[in-house]
Amino acid sequence: MKEVLPKFNSTFSIDCVLFGFDEGELKILLIERNEEPFKDWWALPGNLVEEEESLDQSAGRILHELTGLSDIYMEQYYTFGDVARHPQGRVVSIAYYALLRLGGDKVVKPVSNYAKQAYWRNVKDLPRLAFDHQQIFEKGMEKIKRRIKHQPIAFELLPEKFTLTQLQNVYEVILNKKLDKRNFRKKMLSFGVLRDLNEKQYGVSFRAATLYKFDKRKYAKLFGKEISF
């Protein structure tokens, strides 16, 4: 291999905005840094890309290290490359958002070497973030707002079996507005991608709601047809 390429010292990193939905709130996972720069600051989870891994692999690895899970829905959405975004050198960061089911059994939060601890934080009440992570978060938030109108990503935040009210909550909290219950149900059911499980919630202290499941096969058959909220 000719060594013509690197003209200066540079590297790439991945930053992940990992969304979770819990107790009616949209949250993201933040880590408290244990290393310079920005020691003791809150930051998005992220890391350098290694030599023999693609960007998607790297993002998958980071999410796996954080959660122990390896099938998390994720998507690359923007790359941040301002010259001075990292105080120690030229680091271009490729941002991913990821969506996680938080139902009941909270996700594991292992401590990695560069982080003291990781916490779920409501997106409406975030602390000041390290680097340009505020900007990275905001762009990710915008992205899922647009995305949820046309793509079935809401289901990635819910348990496999969910009620229509829970689904509506996800839409409301991401779009940041109230939706009409009857219209929501009418429209959502009209897409024909939910399977009624003929099953009810269990253990709730009020009338139990019907459980539904997202039907990927029916969704695939819609092909190009636009879903719109």
Q: Closest approach of Cβ 140 to a copy of itself, in Å?
A: 15
How far apart are alpha carbons 124 and 217 in whole angstroms? 35
187 binds, among a copy of itself, DNA, none (CB under 5 to 8 A by kind): DNA
Among 7-15, 62-70, 112-120, 211-219, the segment contacting a copy of itself (CB under 8 A): 7-15
> Between 35 and 229, whose beta carbon lies closer to DNA?
229
- The residues binding DNA (CB under 7 A) are 163-165, 180-183, 185-187, 200, 204-210, 228
- Quick one: which of 23, 70, 71, 88 contacts a copy of itself (CB under 8 A)? 88
Residues 192-221 that bind a copy of itself (CB under 8 A): none
Q: Closest approach of Cβ 179 to DNA, in Å?
A: 9
81 binds, among DNA, a copy of itself, none (CB under 5 to 8 A by kind): a copy of itself
Site residues for a copy of itself per CB under 8 A: 1-12, 48-56, 76, 78-79, 81-83, 86-92, 94
